[in-house]
A and B are shown apart, each in its own frame.
Chain A
Amino acid sequence: MISPSTVAAYATRLGDNALVLGQRMIELVAASPELEEELANANFSLDYIGQARMFYTYAGEREGAGRNEDDFAYLRPEHEYKNLLLVEQPNGHFGDSTVRQVLFESWYVLILDALTRSSDEGIAEIAARAIKEVRYHLRHSSQWLVRLGDGTDESHARAQASLNELWRYTGEMFVADGLDEKIRKDFKGPDLRHIEAQWQENLAAIVAEATLELPGDQWMASGGKQGRHTEHFGFLLAEMQYLQRTYPGASW
């Protein structure tokens, strides 16, 4: 059955990915080795937060229960967040952050591309806006992966270790749950099996250029889409929601 709540739930999930990654990137502000990198990171982070605002606002409209973007961002507990485990992983060193960005952005760009053809106009419009930005983010993160992987012995080894470490969070990106299936069937959403094949191919090219190796089959972590998060997520949320939790209704 086609119901507005399906779209609201899916828009919320997309908003969660964007907001949590945007928040992680905000933590990197003032940590970059050079000014241009600093600005790129801060600007990209703003793009993600902007995307989250659009997805949440739309989710609120479709839900029709009077929730606005801030209610979604600041007043939901941990288990109501349905973002991928990958985006909540800590920044670690620059190789860790770079690998996280490449793995997510190479997936997200394909999801957005498929969503621009969704029969839900609201989602399709936001996707069309967002994909222009994310293509650009991916160009940036993959350039860095190539620089690190094909750089010194030290940067190569570290980037490879980051890739091996974060690989376990890529599995759930392609496992469709009930909501993914509904969006695919009722709203012409992405087919995750297609996305996986394309993602593997695109990622293999970036990783090869970076002279790194794709990790083999291994155990994959999952649970993000069901609201079961890694231990890092609570800390992120506590910091992000602190102000609204302590001073409810505070505004600028």
Chain B
Amino acid sequence: MVETLYKPEEILEWLSHVPDPEIPVLTITDLGIVRGVDCSAGVTVSLTPTYSGCPATEAIEASVVAALEERGVCDVRIKRVLSPAWTTDWISDDGRKKLRVYGIAPPERRDRPIACPRCDSSNTEVVSEFGSTACKASYRCVDCLEPFEYFKCL
């Protein structure tokens, strides 16, 4: 029997190209939902859901399996972990930059003003706290008048 051993770093590198189905500019590693890779028996990837009702959870699990199978890893298992619970603090700095370029204001830590992702003005106002998905709010920039989405702090 031929046993192929993978290194966790290698698997993580491959996973860092798997996009989030709802915000495809972010990968699942940018989002911080990959909690661990175990290569001791087959490959087990630990994932955590962003929200309990996130409809993308199953889609993400399927794309992880598909991405690894494409690289020839055939014994892939997904483990769902709940603890520690995901918060927006898990989004990487790189992920925050990508969000801003995409036109979504990244979650701000604590009481910092929400800056417009287009003109960078912090003179912005909330239009609706509850936007197109559970994780986003609708904002408008008072200076450049562009409406934009804000990835809420959770």
Contacts and interface: CB of A to CB of B under 8 A. Distances in A.
B6 interface: no
A251 B154 CA distance: 34
Interface in A42-91: 43-51, 53-54
B72 interface: no
A36 B130 contact: yes
Q: Which among A43, A46, A126, A136 has the greatest number of chain B C-beta atoms within 10 A?
A: A43
Contact of A133 (B52, B82, B84, B131): B52
Interface in A109-144: 124-126, 128-130, 132-133, 136, 139-140, 143
A204 interface: no
A45 B52 CA distance: 10
A109 to B, nearest CB: 14
A175 interface: no
A47 B130 contact: no
A65 to B, nearest CB: 21
A129 B52 contact: yes
A50 B51 contact: yes
A29 interface: no
B53 A47 contact: yes
Chain A interface bracket (under 10, 10 to 19, 20 to 34, 35 or more): 20 to 34
A36 B52 contact: no
Contact of A129 (B49, B55, B128, B132): B49
Contacts of A51: 52-53
A128 B48 CA distance: 13
B4 interface: no
Contacts of A50: 49, 51-54
A125 B83 CA distance: 6
Contacts of A48: 52-53
A39 interface: yes
A51 B57 CA distance: 13
A43 B83 contact: no
B145 interface: no
Interface of A: 36-37, 39-40, 43-51, 53-54, 124-126, 128-130, 132-133, 136, 139-140, 143
B142 interface: no
Interface string B43-72: 000000101111100000000000000000
A43 B133 contact: yes
A139 B126 CA distance: 15
Given A45-B53, A49-B53, A140-B129, A132 B85 contact: yes
Contacts of B82: 54, 125-126, 128-129
Contact of B83 (A36, A46, A128, A133): A128
Contact of A44 (B84, B127, B134): B134
The 5 A-B pairs of least Cβ separation, nearest first, read A46-B53, A50-B52, A40-B130, A50-B53, A43-B134
A132 B89 CA distance: 13
Contacts of B52: 46-48, 50-51, 53-54, 129-130, 133
A130 B82 CA distance: 10
B53 A43 contact: yes
Contacts of B127: 36
Interface string B22-59: 00000000000000000000000000010111110000
B16 interface: no
B136 to A, nearest CB: 9
Q: Which among A50, A130, A140 has the greatest number of chain B C-beta atoms within 10 A?
A: A50
